[in-house]
């Protein structure tokens, strides 16, 4: 861990704990890791949910944790075209910084990732960072 972090800080302790847990419990559907030089930025990869137009897709993104984490929600940015979320844009979901009133400090990185996977087959309905591509367009992106 970089020396620049105060390991007595509750947020830093929490991030270190989540990183250890995710590393010790690998999962086929997703993975997430903090950057070596910035524990407040994580990169994740998720598989598209089965039985949806995203099936067989692998999607990469960033989770940006605020310094007040876990008391404030993260930001979420996708880096892989998917037809549901805009690229390089902070996505508006009930688990992100756009809706801090819904965030629960008991939630963590794993919760965020599982929620994102659940949001894939939902409609964007005009949400910031949301896209409503057709199922055919999304299937094509999942194959590419």
Within 25-134, residue ranges assigned H as helices are 109-119
Rounded CA-CA distance 17/38 in Å is 15
Q: Which of 87, 88, 83 is nearest to 140 (CA)?
A: 83
Nearest C-alpha neighbor of 23 from the set 51, 42, 7, 50:
42
92, 93, 95, 124: the catalytic one is 92
In the annotation, is 92 catalytic?
yes
CA–CA dist 99, 28 (Å, integer): 29
As given in the structure block, the two tokens for residue 132 are 């409503």
Q: What are the start-end ranges of the E strands in the chain? A: 30-35, 38-47, 58-64, 75-78
Q: Enumerate the active-site residues.
A: 92
């Amino acid at each position: 861990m970089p020396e620049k972090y105060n390991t007595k800080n509750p947020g830093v302790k929490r991030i270190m704990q989540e990183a250890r847990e995710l590393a010790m419990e690998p999962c086929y559907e997703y993975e997430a890791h903090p950057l070596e030089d910035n524990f407040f930025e994580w990169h994740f990869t998720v598989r598209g949910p089965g039985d949806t137009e995203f099936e067989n897709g692998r999607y990469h993104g960033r989770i940006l944790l605020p310094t007040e984490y876990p008391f404030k929600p993260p930001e979420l940015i996708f880096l892989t075209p998917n037809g549901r979320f805009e690229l390089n844009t902070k996505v508006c979901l009930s688990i992100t910084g756009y809706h801090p009133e819904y965030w629960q400090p008991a939630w963590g990185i794993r919760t965020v990732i599982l929620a994102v996977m659940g949001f894939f087959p939902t409609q964007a309905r005009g949400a910031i960072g949301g896209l409503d591509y057709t199922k055919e367009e999304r299937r094509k992106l999942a194959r590419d």
